[in-house]
């Protein structure tokens, strides 16, 4: 997928994790980075609000969580505190994110290396969707979902 726009474009999957999913409720997806630049990868609830022209996307409200490997930061909510997280990624890297709705955590992996728990106390009673967003033109990536 590519973003050929100048705005912060978010892409949310059409299907989320159903509340009736069997336990353990742990899901993952991977993103292969094919270009460099500002890309955020994460999870969003159905009612999360994105504003491409205003520059808000995954991780910028209380109903989404995101990891930005371009800046090695994590985001959740309008005012994210303690946002340093993870490793800086490069072209060709594979980013994996997992959401565990039983443990209520979100993890990220870079090329298979666990970068630790990024977020805790994730609401296990919401339907969560894979999502990513990027800024500027020519961002190119490929996604493989395990949902």
Matching residue, tokens 């994790």: 17
- Sort strands 105-110 and 94-100 into parallel, antiparallel or unpaired: antiparallel
DSSP letter assigned to residue 21: P
List the beta bridge partners of residue 48: none
Kindly list the structural domains of the chain, giving each domain's residue range(s) and its CATH number in brackets, ordered by start: 2-15+24-145 (2.60.120.920)
Per-residue pLDDT, 87? 96
User: What is the rounded CA–CA span in Å between residue 91 and residue 88?
Assistant: 11
Question: Considering the entire predicted model, what is its pTM?
Answer: 0.81
C-beta separation of 126 from 45 below 8 A:
yes
Matching residue, tokens 């705005």: 7
* Token pair recorded at residue 84: 């340093």
Rounded mean pLDDT of 28-35? Answer: 86
Task: Choose from 27-41, 63-77, 120-134 the range with maximum mean pLDDT.
Answer: 63-77
Q: pLDDT tens digits for 40-69?
A: 899 999 887 766 566 667 777 889 999 999
């Amino acid at each position: 997928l590519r973003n050929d726009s100048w705005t912060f474009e978010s892409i949310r999957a059409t299907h989320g994790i159903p509340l009736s999913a069997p336990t353990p409720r742990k899901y993952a997806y991977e993103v292969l980075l094919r270009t460099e630049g500002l890309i955020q990868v994460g999870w969003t609830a159905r009612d999360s609000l994105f504003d491409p022209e205003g520059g808000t996307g995954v991780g910028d409200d209380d109903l989404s969580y995101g990891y930005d490997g371009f800046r090695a930061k994590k985001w959740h909510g309008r005012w994210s505190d303690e946002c340093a997280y993870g490793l800086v990624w490069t072209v060709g890297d594979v980013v994996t994110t997992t959401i565990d709705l039983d443990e209520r955590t979100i993890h990220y992996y870079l090329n298979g290396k666990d970068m630790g728990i990024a977020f805790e106390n994730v609401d296990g009673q919401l339907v969560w969707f894979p999502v990513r967003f990027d800024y500027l033109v020519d961002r190119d990536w490929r996604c493989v979902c395990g949902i």
